[in-house]
Amino acid sequence: MIYNITNVTFGEYGIRNGDMIAMINVLQWLRRKHSNPNIKFYITPEIIISDTGYHQKFFDFLCENYDYFSLTPGEYYLPYEHIMLWDFRDNIGDVVEIPNLQQQQMKLVVFPIFDAQYNTLRNWPLALFMNILEFCCQQYPDHERIVCIKDLPKDITCPGFTVSTDFISNVTHLMQSDVYVGGDTGMSHLASALSPGPRELVYFYTCRGMIHTLPFYLIQGKGILNTYSSQYNLDIF
């Protein structure tokens, strides 16, 4: 059974990486509700945000490795219109479990965010980023340490870390990681949804973040959330 997802289903703002994880949460809830593991979603291509190309790459990755999405339309539509995807999560809870494709290693990954184009408070202050790197080097001296990022801002160095800028490689690093440190990004939602996922999940979110878009299972005690403002508290280190 294939349900078509259009901009009428979950609103007209488009789908990004984190939204895809939230959509899988809805899908797995429907599979349980109807005792049907064969339910899939077909996402009309125009609702995948194309500003960076990463969202299409992530969608392609999910299609190649999992059975959540169909590449051909179905004959059914969900009986919902203009439902905010993350509000839907408030009603069904957290049920998403994405099987991990990789074996975990002694690997620590940091997924910062510097280039958010909306809700820009999510962008990490540079001082916060540098303190996170220093803390990780001190706390995890025996781990392979990788900063996973699209582009490293100019004049920023990452002492003690390797920098990886290839998106799919970064997804693999995340799946292999023992420790995940991330901001308010889709990759934090992926890390929280993996089964099994990283042994330690540490998030740094703006203190103005929204509760219903927090990483999955955080409220149930999975992972640690630190918050910051432009005058963030250094005592968190």
| Structural domains present in the chain | 2-94 (no CATH), 99-236 (3.40.50.2000)
Q: What is the pLDDT of residue 231?
A: 54
**Low-confidence residues of the chain: pLDDT under 70:** 11, 208-209, 230-237
Residues 6 or more apart whose CB falls under 8 angstroms from that of 137 comprise: 145, 159, 160, 161
Distance separating alpha carbons of residues 120 and 206, to the nearest angstrom: 10
Check whether the bond before 153 is cis (ω within 30° of 0).
no
